[in-house]
């Protein structure tokens, strides 16, 4: 018996996997073969969670997690760093506990190739790893070709800060160095992209910092979309906290119909351009269009959309059997590209991988996602949803579940829930 019944039931709850799914036939009285080799690419909400939960479900399975970096700075919480509410140290984690508590093997290297036929993964350092099942959770890359004047080199002076770490620090420094009375431009990405409410939480957190330290300054969002996640809630918070809609507004949103569809960055003149808008700014945060990370594309796991099609029940690639793709890189909508969804997908995938290695039925999953955003230090908002497998094997929303914060929901309480959500999910992922 790999895990106790109590632990298994706790895991079921954590995974959002319901009773009556056939799962109770899987563990702890789980039949089938022991052992097997699983390799996982990418050590964050998708990959690190999958590594931990595969080992929890069956410690006879060897799990090797390959991650390019020795530590991971989480994107969730990185906007709070910009708002002066957390430090980079607060949002940076090591893999030590995955090793010491869960027996995951960590390899800090870059995966340069996947041979789906030979079932091997090649590393930049020269090694090759064999697997019985591969889990790929490499996150996103940018479609630099869709923006004129912007690429990885320009991003060293005009940060995207859409992968947390040095980019977040660069944006933070530029905000601190900016004069009072300056303009911060946020060029938001088109759909689909990582963290739908992220650009608007970022605008809020920057406005929070400016309100305290540089009150004559403002944030202007150029947006190629005509609407955005939790828009009514954000705009309500912006009115209360930052004078939104008045001539003293610290946040301005320029959507698609007003020319927000930016296509060009002029780094020399510090300006962002669309067909109808030319916006000069003191700090530019340009978040380009996105696609699945490079390794997913080079391994042939992406389709024409640039993202990875997967089976809804197992997250196994529709293009390469034996390889599972989870997290932002996968096509899992209506699940959003969020850390919480990646964590939920990872648990579903862990059950699928263990079941497949054991040769038993894969249980029917459900998923859960909640996205909290801070509009101010004591002003939180949220959207939540439960998802289920539909009869045709796709992921669907459970009708009547979830929703957004209501008019009477305490924004102060939601802010404290946001902070405890963060502490819980990083514990669940890295400890």
Binding site residues, ligand FAD, CB under 6 A? 41-47, 66-69, 72, 75-76, 78-79, 110-111, 137-139, 162, 194-195, 198, 202, 293, 295, 327-329, 337-340, 342, 371
Cα separation, 68 vs 52, whole angstroms? 18
Contact 208, 184 (CB under 8 A): no
Q: Measured from the CB atom, is 11 or 368 closer to ligand FAD?
A: 368
Tell me whether residue 111 or residue 254 sits nearer to ligand FAD (CB atom).
111
Closer of 78 and 229 to ligand FAD (Cβ): 78
CB of 425 to ligand FAD, least distance (A): 7
State whether residue 139 is helix, strand or coil. coil
CB of 142 to ligand FAD, least distance (A): 12
The rounded distance, in Å, linking the Cα atoms of 39 and 131 is 6
Backbone phi and psi for residue 297, each to the nearest 5 degrees, phi listed first: -70, -45
| Tally of CA atoms within 13 A in the half-sphere of 227 that contains its CB | 5
CB of 149 to ligand FAD, least distance (A): 22
Supply the minimum distance, in Å, between the C-beta of residue 20 and ligand FAD: 28
Q: Per the structure block, which two tokens stand in for 291?
A: 């696609």
Neighbouring C-beta atoms of residue 28, cutoff 10 Å: 15
| DSSP class per residue in 297-337 | HHTT---TTSSEEB-TTT-BBSSSTTEEE-GGGEE-TTS-S
Both tokens assigned to 152: 């990885």
Structure tokens at 369: 């996602």
The nearer residue to ligand FAD, 69 or 213, going by C-beta atoms, is: 69
Nearer to ligand FAD, 27 or 75 (CB): 75
Count of residues in the chain: 431
Minimum CB distance to ligand FAD smaller for 83 or for 363: 83
* Residue 163 C-beta: closest distance to ligand FAD, Å: 7
> Which CB sits closer to ligand FAD, 121 or 241?
121
Determine the Cα–Cα distance for residues 343 and 207; give it in Å rounded to an integer: 30
Give the residue from 48, 49, 50, 104 showing the smallest Cα distance to 71: 48
Least Å from the CB of residue 131 to ligand FAD: 14
State the nearest-atom distance from the C-beta of 41 to ligand FAD, in Å: 5
């Amino acid at each position: 018996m790999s895990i106790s019944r109590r632990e298994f039931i706790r895991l079921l709850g954590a995974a959002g996997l319901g009773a009556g799914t056939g799962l109770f036939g899987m563990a702890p009285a789980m039949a089938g073969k022991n052992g097997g080799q699983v390799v996982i690419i990418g050590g964050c909400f998708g990959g690190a969670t999958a590594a931990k939960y595969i080992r929890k479900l069956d410690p006879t399975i060897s799990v090797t997690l390959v991650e390019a970096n020795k530590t991971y700075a989480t994107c969730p919480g990185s906007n709070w760093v910009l708002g002066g509410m957390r430090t980079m140290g607060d949002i940076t984690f090591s893999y030590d506990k995955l090793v010491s508590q869960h027996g995951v093997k960590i390899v800090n290297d870059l995966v340069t190739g996947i041979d789906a036929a030979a079932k091997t993964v090649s590393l930049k350092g020269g090694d090759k790893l064999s697997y019985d099942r591969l889990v790929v959770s490499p996150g996103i890359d940018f479609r630099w070709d869709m923006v004129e004047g912007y690429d990885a080199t320009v991003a060293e002076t005009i940060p995207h800060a859409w992968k947390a770490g040095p980019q977040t620090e660069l944006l933070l420094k530029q905000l601190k160095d900016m004069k009072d009375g300056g303009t911060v431009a946020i060029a938001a990405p088109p759909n689909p992209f990582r963290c739908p409410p992220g650009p608007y939480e970022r605008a809020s957190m920057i406005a929070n910092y400016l309100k305290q330290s540089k009150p004559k300054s403002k944030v202007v969002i150029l947006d190629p979309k005509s609407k955005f996640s939790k828009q009514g809630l954000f705009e309500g918070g912006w009115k209360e906290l930052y004078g939104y809609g008045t001539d003293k507004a610290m946040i301005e949103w320029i959507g698609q119909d007003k020319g927000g569809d930016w296509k060009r960055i002029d780094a020399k003149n510090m300006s962002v351009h669309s067909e109808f808008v030319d916006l000069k700014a003191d700090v530019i945060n340009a978040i380009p269009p996105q696609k699945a990370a490079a390794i997913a594309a080079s391994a042939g796991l992406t389709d024409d959309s640039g993202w990875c099609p997967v089976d809804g029940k197992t997250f196994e690639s529709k293009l390469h059997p034996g390889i599972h793709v989870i997290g932002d890189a996968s096509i899992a909508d209506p699940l959003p590209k969020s850390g919480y969804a990646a964590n939920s997908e990872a648990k579903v995938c862990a059950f699928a991988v263990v079941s497949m290695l054991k040769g038993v039925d894969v249980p029917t999953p459900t998923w859960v996602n909640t996205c909290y955003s801070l509009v101010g230090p004591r002003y939180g908002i949220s959207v939540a949803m439960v998802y289920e497998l539909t009869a045709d094997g796709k992921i669907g929303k459970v009708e009547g579940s979830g929703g957004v914060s209501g008019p009477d929901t305490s924004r102060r309480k939601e802010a404290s829930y946001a902070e405890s959500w963060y502490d819980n999910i990083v514990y669940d992922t890295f400890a």
